[in-house]
Chains A and B, each alone.
Chain A
Amino acid sequence: MWARTVRLGLRARLGGCRGFTFKVDPQGTGQVTAELIEHLERLALVDFGGREAVARLEKAIAFADRLRGVDTDGVEPMESVLEDRCLYLRSDNVTEGNCAEELLQNSHRVVEEYFVAPPGNISLAKLNEQEPPPRG
């Protein structure tokens, strides 16, 4: 799962990167720093586990880096594999909803008809403190 996220981010970066901020390797040494791992873990809520996982990540980056060998000068980047498809437009009618009971069944905890969540976000680095961190 994490590998796919990394690869998608890289593809965007190599493709010309309009507005994407995924900074993988500023030095170009192919090394993934501890800072970056911490950053990724916090962003994507994944647990790299150990050194093995980081090594795998570095190999994946190196593998994807081979794309740089392709000459893409003057080629318009592809934004979506669906670029030739028509985007279907739905009429503005109410056709769904009214299934609160069904949906609430999925929730671990429910209060009246509300889903229950822990207060705010719990930052990975500060699991002991109850600080409300960034709200997107």
Chain B
Amino acid sequence: MAAPMLRWGCAGRRWAFACVDGGSRHGLGARNDFTLSGMRGQSSLALQPLITAQKPRKGEHEWAAVVGLEIHAQISSNSKLFSGSQVHFAAPPNSLVSFFDASLPGTLPVLNRRCVEAAVMTGLALNCRINKKSLFDRKHYFYADLPAGYQITQQRLPIAVNGSLTYGVCLGKKRRQVITKMVRIKQIQLEQDSGKSLHDDLRSQTLIDLNRAGVGLLEVVMEPDMTCGEEAATAVRELQLILQALGTSQANMAEGQLRVDANVSVHHPGEPFGVRTEVKNLNSARFLAKAIDYEIQRQINELENGGEILNETRSFDSTLGCTVPMRDKEGKQDYRFMPEPNLPPLVLYDAASLPAGADSRQVINIDYIRERLPELPSVTREKLIEQYGMLPEHSFTLLNEAGLLEFFQNVIKETRAEPKVVTSWVLNIFLGYLKQQSLAVSESPITPSALAELLTLLDGKVISSSAAKQVFEELWKSKSKTAAQIVSEKKLELMQDLEALEQLCQAIMEGHPQVVMDLKKGNLKAINKLIGLVRKATLDRADPTVIKKILEEKLSS
């Protein structure tokens, strides 16, 4: 093949992987040498050796991709960021709109305390430095769903900066190995959401609903430390889990509570970063990785064919599975940032700087918030590994599936079975059935109690492992019967009569002298045939380990 192979690297894929200098030349200015709780100005990417799938031919290049993310998370609060109208997902159009949200003259912004606390909590959870003084600015642009003609945001001095997010990428064929990666958080800022536009192309008009206008958003800016769609999707998932654990945002992508824009560029390892494009409209976790990978490949193809990448904004078309240009070539937007004249600087305190006798409703103490931070997902995982001896990848799976952790913990509470058995059943069999029928944990026909009962029976050696699986299948189908009922109905109890079992084993051995000879000659695997025969004869109501023991005893005698 004359044309060079186009390959780009990503952990877990078999293509060439590049060691990239995680600088911020990705349009964000020179890289700063800052300290992140121990890390000094180092590249935050996992340094991996250059692996090539095949011997490089002349003219063949490796490509490295660089992905940065801008994530907008809707703050979970009762009222909006600067007004007292309600925050709610579904409501009659324009019913949750105050005069300020509609930008009527004479109205002023009044900052919601809960939103500030949410921003501080999120900043602390992401190891950021909380700015004791932050400022609000106006970002101007015209659009029908932005009644004021500007958005109040924090461009000059945001509330939190210089943090990090650690996430685990599952590698290997069966995704058994978990590698921790880190992405730097550039900043977190408070800003207003805009209203919603419904485009009516037929009548050439746009319908505007301002219910969402003014809702508080946390914008989390992640540095371009990621190299592919999977890493980006995993980082986003981890952020979702953190926000949900903190309660600062429900981070539900389907309901628009979490929106992600990706900045993507490619370059040859060792060379400066390439021109980046912004990919918007990534509205589901599924499409996030797909869209980013598509864009990376598109850029590689374009450059390999001698084209160039334009610094443009593209949108992901989920039906076509590709990115398309979004804006026309009018040039860069000029947002005419200016300080928000109606809001003084936002000042936060800590235990040391808290003014004496201050009204507690009017001051925010960072240390107070830090002490009361809920348990973060990474800590929950560590506890699971320590308490139940499970593997890291198990803890990731338990947390990644909504409701699964709670299910697991409820089973553990009610059963006598070993945690390792519970882990195995929940992650393999239970989750397997759910996935097969595309069900969420909340839609499971089996309750934690039912599974707990089944596993207790298994633990007490009342039934065999294979019988337990049969019972599970029955439980799944019939919701009214208990495990015990199914066991007695189908007569799945293990044989308790050892004498009868011994007699059976003797009979089988006498009936198959060739196999016994084979065994005595040294073919140890032949015992499995005998075990199988005994199991068949007992209608699978005997424990294979017990059978094996009896057979071995008989053979040695």
A binds B: yes
Give the interface of A toward B (CB within 8 A): 5, 8-9, 12, 18-22, 39, 43-45, 79-100, 103-104, 106, 109, 111-121, 123, 130-136
Within 8 A of A (CB), among B62-100: 77-79, 83-86, 92-100
Chain B residues near A80: list those with CB within 8 A. 135, 339, 341, 343-345
**CB–CB B198/A89 < 8 A:** no
Give the interface of B toward A (CB within 8 A): 77-79, 83-86, 92-100, 102, 104, 110-116, 135, 139-144, 146, 151, 155-156, 197-201, 204-210, 326-328, 330, 333-339, 341, 343-347, 361-362, 364
**CB–CB A97/B334 < 8 A:** no
**CB–CB A9/B338 < 8 A:** yes
Chain B residues near A113: list those with CB within 8 A. 92-95
**CB–CB A87/B113 < 8 A:** no
Q: How far is it, in angstroms, between the C-alpha of A93 and the C-alpha of B86 when the chains are bound?
A: 8
B248 vs chain A, min Cβ distance (A): 12
Q: How far is it, in angstroms, between the C-alpha of A1 and the C-alpha of B94 when the chains are bound?
A: 30
A90 vs chain B, min Cβ distance (A): 5
**CB–CB B111/A100 < 8 A:** no
Other than the known A100-B97, A109-B205, what 12 A-B pairs have Cβ atoms closer than 8 Å? A9-B336, A19-B156, A91-B114, A92-B115, A94-B78, A97-B98, A99-B99, A116-B207, A119-B201, A119-B205, A132-B328, A135-B143
Determine the main DSSP class of A at the interface with B: loop
Q: How far is it, in angstroms, between the C-alpha of A84 and the C-alpha of B344 when the chains are bound?
A: 8
B291 vs chain A, min Cβ distance (A): 18
**CB–CB B207/A86 < 8 A:** no
Q: How far is it, in angstroms, between the C-alpha of A43 and the C-alpha of B200 when the chains are bound?
A: 26
Determine the main DSSP class of B at the interface with A: loop
Chain A residues near B198: list those with CB within 8 A. 114
Given contacts A85-B344, A92-B79, A96-B98, is CB(A120)–CB(B93) below 8 Å?
no
**CB–CB B334/A136 < 8 A:** no
**CB–CB B94/A117 < 8 A:** no
Q: How far is it, in angstroms, between the C-alpha of A113 and the C-alpha of B96 when the chains are bound?
A: 12
Chain B residues near A9: list those with CB within 8 A. 336, 338
Closest to A81 in B: B341
Q: How far is it, in angstroms, between the C-alpha of A112 and the C-alpha of B198 when the chains are bound?
A: 13
**CB–CB B334/A21 < 8 A:** yes
**CB–CB B338/A136 < 8 A:** no
Chain A residues near B78: list those with CB within 8 A. 92-94
Given contacts A100-B93, A117-B206, A136-B333, is CB(A89)–CB(B111) below 8 Å?
yes
Q: How far is it, in angstroms, between the C-alpha of A97 and the C-alpha of B98 when the chains are bound?
A: 5
B76 vs chain A, min Cβ distance (A): 10
Chain A residues near B110: list those with CB within 8 A. 88, 90
Residue contacts A-B, CB under 8 angstroms, 10 given: A80-B345, A92-B79, A94-B86, A97-B85, A97-B86, A114-B94, A115-B144, A115-B210, A118-B144, A136-B142
